[in-house]
Structure 1
Amino acid sequence: MANGSGSRGRGGAPRRGGPARAAAKGRPRPTPKPSRRPEPTPPPEPRAFRLGAVPGATPGKWIGVWRERLPHVSLELREIAVASQRDALDEVDVALVRLPVESSDDVHVIELYEELPVVVMVAESHLTAAEELALADLAGEVVIVPADDVLHTEVPDAVPPAFAPPADTAEAIATVAAGVGVVIVPMSLARAHQRRDVDYRVLTDGPRSTVALAWLRERTTEDVETFVGIVRGRTARSSR
Structure 2
Amino acid sequence: VDPISGFFSHCFAVTNLLGISLQAGESVISSTCSEKCTCQASGGLVCKPHRCLVQEICALQEGVRSCVKQKGRCILLPGGQLTSFDGASGGDLPSGAYELASLCNSSTPSWFRLVVEVRACGDEGRTAGTTAYIFFQDAFIAVKRSKETWVNGRSMQLPAKVSDAVSVSESQGGVAVVQASGVQVLFSPRGQVTVRVGESLANKLCASCGNFNDDISDDLRLPGGGFARNITEVVSAWKAGDFSGCGI
Q: Could you tell me the TM-score, scaled by structure 2's length? A: 0.24
Q: Could you tell me the TM-score, scaled by structure 1's length? A: 0.25
Q: Which has the higher helix share?
A: 1
Q: Which has the higher strand share?
A: 2
Larger radius of gyration: 1
Higher RCO, 1 or 2 (CA under 8 Å, sep at least 6)? 1
